[in-house]
Every structure is written in structure tokens, then in C-alpha cells.
Amino acid sequence: MRRRVVCILLPLFLACPVLAREPAPPPFVPPLPNLSAEARRGEHLVVIGGCHDCHTPLKNGPNGPVPDMTRMLSGHPQQFEVPPAPALAAPWMMVAIATRTGFAGPWGVSFAANLTPDPETGLGNWTEQTFIESLRTGRHMGRGRPILPPMPWEIVGQHTDAELKAIWAYLRRVPPIRNQVPAPRPPMAAATPEATGR
Amino acid sequence: MSVSGLPSPLRIWSSTAVLGLVLSTTGLATASPLPQRLGETGLYADRTLTTPARDVLAYTPQYPLWSDGATKRRWIRLPPGTSIDAHDADAWVFPVGTRVWKEFTRGRRRETRLIVRTRSGWVYGTYRWTDDGSDALLVAAAGAVDPGSDPARPGESYVFPSEQDCRSCHEGRPTPILGFSALQLSADRDPEAVHGEQPGPGMVDLGMLVDRHLIRGLPASWRARPPRIESSTEDERAALGYLHGNCGQCHNARGPLASLGLDLWLDPARRGNDTHRVIASLLGRSHFQIPGQAGPESRRLTPGAPEQSAILVRMRTREPTQQMPPVATRMVDAEAARRIEQWIQELPSRSPR
């Protein structure tokens, strides 16, 4: 009798973790087909790293703003006219535009870059080396102009070489999107009372 | 907008010193292999740090890098019995143990930078001179800032570069040593070179290196006909020389930025074909958007139209996101900008690439 009870209850007990498991969340982005293992890893890192937060513009959805995956990772939309940023009063320091791809603060106004492999407006003529060096140095292509806030390059640059290579491998596979992100604006165009003393 | 107009939060934010502070306090910075004191690096023969050692060689490149008007002196030391391999005339190979120093004076000696080739690679550092000039101490790898101490720009800070700043220029092509090369040491010096200086007594040039067996593999023809920029006018020779010395270390065909297609490094082995190549790359499209210009596209150089030439627009600003070069300078080189503008104005109309 006891053995019979054990034989009935044991499988149920062993199945409890399976039965109790939380359902997997729906994918944040539609997974790209036919990715290498490295690029698939990069796809995951891009999602959990929050790259879409700034580099994929928001659009209006039925329940509020949602990422527009038809413009995935293409940065600030070039057709979006950007007015002068508002002046802020302390302690407020930063504002973001409605697409969440443009940001104004003490540094001026910065726009999220086009990370797609478009050769003219994206990272098409970058190399793995210049990509990794950008994130390790905080300089455009590893040796150019400074990468502006709020891009957290100091944190993203802490990825291992393998992780950054995986991210690069994935970025080479996302659909190229022609989108000329505007140049950053100097601080005078985003004056805060602390910046100007006015 | 000049850097001096930036609000202090951005200057601090922009400074790599902030990151260095974070790295150093978190223990992520690594100790430099360089000596802590400049006097221990082998440059000087005396404790007063005034007389260079007998085994260091002084030199001056014919197309010097703009350093905000600082007066500079340069020296190189090759280990005894070694020589430079110049079989690749465009990328010399220096022996392990090579040391190169560059001293910066603005009012007084401010810093001396040092590059050393070790067995495991190139090492970079800079030494900050004390106010009384009695000593110079190694600056942290993250760089440093002396607030309000730059005599050339009253009230502004003097910035010592970080190791990363050094690498950004010096590792832009195969050889990290930039001003010690065939074109820069040629005896056929450009009399119109921007900020050019004539070599002092005893300074080395290509011929001296050959005579003293300090270099091997140079074309024999260069003894009778030293390399020079083959250009159609003297203005063009000087303009291309300036771009070579100030821009070519990053913008060339052999470094990480080769994919940009902007090649300003003149290869002395290519002679007359070289200037055509450089000018052709300058006629290409620029990814930089010239402020106030209609449309997203601009050209690196528009013959006859300096205001529509991205290279000149970027030379004339020190706004950090627009300036060129992007590091190591906080003052516009007004003389060079004038000369480049004049050259562009006089260029005949040429078809873009």
C-alpha cells in the first residue's frame, strides 16, 4: 500500500517544478532567422542590455508608446523635427523626446545612433574593431568625437570581448535601415539655468 | 563653440579623468611599467634634467603636429647595436627598447610624453613638470587636469592626456611613432610648412640615420633624391603636409579607420601618384553634417568653396563633438586654417568621387 502511494505521489511531486514554472515571456523582438550561435547570443545581449530603449524609436500604440520594430535599432528618425530643448530647473537635469531617441541635458542634445548595417547612415563601414573600441573608449570609432550621454558606454564597455563580438555579429544581421540621425547639438541649444547662469 | 564655453558639468563629464577615478578607486586600473620620475627614463645625463643624455638623438619633423602653440622638443633613443627596419618605407619597425620623448613648453616646461617599445608592445605615458622645473612625475594612466593653469588660455585648465588618448592617435596605423618617418625626416624640407622649424645643430635626418647605420632597408635612391610631397604648387605641398602630420595618423589606408576611405597619410615610396590619391579621397562625401548647410550630405572638400568643406569647418571649431582633431587640442590652429582655406579656394573645380 505504501509503495503504491509512493508510486502515485512521487511522479506528481517530481512534476511540480514543471507544472509550477512561470510561462516564458513573449520575445521582446521577433527573433531573426538563421543566426549563428554567436549572433543569437548577441541578440539576447542587445535585448537584456536595453539597447532598444534608446536605439529603437517609440510609436503610439493602442495602449501607449511601444517600440517600433519596423525601425529596429535605427536610432533617432531623421524626419522627426526636433525643436529647441526646454530649459530645466534644478534638480531636473535631463529630458527625452517622445520617440525616446533624443536627449537633452548639460551636454547639449544627443541622438541615438543608427546601429543597423546601412552603409551610408548606419554602421555599415564600421569594423568589429572600431565597434569594440568605441565602447571601450567612449569615442566614436574608438578615436573620434566623444560619445555623449546618456549612452552608458562605460557600462556597456565592461562586456567581455566575446560578448561585444556577439553583439557585433548580431548587429551585422539586423535589417539595414537608411536613416540619417541628426548631429548632436552643443550645450547652448539645451541651456539649463545651471549651465547658463540665467 | 569652444570648449571653454562648455558648462563645467560637461567638461567634467567629457574628461577621461572621471572614468579613471572610477577605475582607480575600484581597483580596475593597472600600474604603469614606466618609471615614476622622468629622470629615471634615460633622457637626461644630469640630475638637473637639463642636458640630454649622449645616446639620445634630437630631431624635428618637417610637418609638426599642432599642440595649441606649445614649443616642443623631441628625442629618440635606440638601444645600442640596434637599427630601424625601414624595408616598409611607409611603416618603419623600431627595435624593442626604443624610447621617444616629446617635451611641451607653454610659458614653462609643462609635460614630457614618452613612448617605449617593450617586448609585449608599446607603452605610453606623460610626465608632469613641477612648477619650479626641478622634476617631472608620471601622470596617472587616466590623465590629469591642472585647473586654471594654462598660460595660453587664461583661466583654462591644462590637460594631460590619458593613455587611451595616446593610443587613439598613435595606434591609428601600423607604426606608433608618427613624427619620426621618411617624409618627416627628409633633407628636402618644405620651406612653406605650417609651423615648420629648421633642424638645429646635430639633429638627425634620414641621411644621418643611414650614415650612422641606425636604419636599414631605405631605397638607395633616397640619398640623392630625398622624399618630398610631389605637388603642383607650394601651397598644395604645405597643405598636404599639414594634413599628413595632423590628420594622417588616424585617416589612412592601413589603420582601423581605413573603411572611411579618407587617406591623408602620404606614402613617400609612391612619389608623384600619392598626392592625387590623397586629393581624390578628400573629394568624397563626408558623414559630417556642416552646421547650417541645407541637406544631410556634405563633402570633405569642395574645390573653390572653403565654407562647404567639412575638413576646414571641423578644423575651425573646438566644440567637442565637431572638432578635428578630436583629441590633444583645445585651440584652433588659426594659421593652418588660413592656409588650408587659401589652398581650397584656389583649387580648380574637380569632380567628386
Q: Is B183 within 8 Å of B244 (Cβ atoms)?
A: yes
Q: Which residue of B has its CA nearest to A195?
A: B7
Q: Which residue of B has its CA nearest to A78?
A: B296
Report the half-sphere exposure of B156 (CA within 13 A, side-chain side): 18
pLDDT tens-digit map of B30-59: 577 999 999 999 999 999 999 999 999 999
Strand runs labelled E in A68-163: 95-96, 102-105, 108-111
Residue B171: name the closest of B114, B218, B121, B120 by CA. B121
Share in percent of chain A as helix, strand, coil (round to 5): 40, 10, 50
Residue B310 and residue B282: Cα distance in Å, rounded? 10
Q: Give yes or no for residue B350 having a pLDDT over 80.
A: no
Q: Does A107 touch chain B (CB under 8 A)?
A: yes
**B158 phi and psi, to 5 degrees?**
-95, 130
Q: What pLDDT sits at residue B14?
A: 47
Residue A193: name the closest of B9, B120, B99, B242 by CA. B9
Taking residues B309-332, what's their average pLDDT? Answer: 95
Q: What pLDDT sits at residue B17?
A: 42
Contact residues, chain A, for B327 at CB < 8 Å: 139, 143
Q: What cell was used for B205?
A: 635626418
Contact residues, chain B, for A188 at CB < 8 Å: 1, 5
Q: What pLDDT sits at residue B353?
A: 44
- Give the closest of A107, A127, A142 to B259, CB-based: A127
Contacts of B127 (CB under 8 A, 6+ apart): B37, B38, B41, B111, B112, B113, B114, B136, B137, B138, B139
Q: Does A183 touch chain B (CB under 8 A)?
A: yes
Residue A154 and residue A68: Cα distance in Å, rounded? 27
The Cα of A62 is separated from the nearest Cα of chain B by a number of Å equal to: 34
Q: Could you tell me the pLDDT band of residue A57, with boundaries at 50, 70 and 90?
A: very high
ipTM of the complex as predicted: 0.84
Q: What pLDDT sits at residue B74?
A: 98
Contact residues, chain B, for A146 at CB < 8 Å: 14, 320-321, 326
Residue B133: name the closest of B113, B157, B114, B105 by CA. B105
Q: What burial letters (b/e) apply to B113-130, b meaning 16+ CB within 10 Å?
A: bbbbbeeeebbbbbbbbe
Share of chain B above pLDDT 90, in %: 75
DSSP A75: -
- Give the closest of A106, A140, A188 to B9, CB-based: A106
Higher pLDDT, A18 or B295: B295
Contact residues, chain A, for B16 at CB < 8 Å: 138
Q: What cell was used for B110?
A: 609643462
Residue B205 and residue B322: Cα distance in Å, rounded? 36
Residue B60 and residue B43: Cα distance in Å, rounded? 16
pLDDT tens-digit map of B150-184: 777 778 889 999 999 999 999 999 999 999 999 99
Contact residues of B toward A, CB < 8 A:
1, 5-7, 9-10, 13-14, 16, 19, 22, 164, 168-169, 172, 250, 256-257, 259-261, 288-289, 291, 296, 319-323, 326-327
Q: Is A180 within 8 Å of A78 (Cβ atoms)?
A: yes
CB contact under 8 A, B256 and A194: no
Dmax of chain B from CA atoms?
Answer: 61
Angstrom CA distances, A60 to A55, A76, B38, stand at: 16, 15, 61
Q: Does A187 touch chain B (CB under 8 A)?
A: yes
Q: What pLDDT sits at residue A9?
A: 67
- Give the closest of A106, A107, A143 to B172, CB-based: A143
DSSP-derived 3-state class of residue A129: helix
Q: Which residue of A has its CA nearest to B166?
A: A143
Q: What pLDDT sits at residue B145?
A: 94
Q: Which residue of A has its CA nearest to B142?
A: A137
Residue B340 and residue B313: Cα distance in Å, rounded? 11
pLDDT tens-digit map of B210-250: 999 999 999 888 888 899 999 889 999 999 999 999 999 99
Q: What pLDDT sits at residue A191?
A: 43
Say what the pTM is: 0.87
CB contact under 8 A, B296 and A137: no
Contact residues, chain B, for A196 at CB < 8 Å: 7
Q: How many CB atoms lie within 10 A of CB B246?
A: 25
Q: What pLDDT sits at residue A197?
A: 35
> Sign of torsion, CA A159 A165 A166 A169?
positive
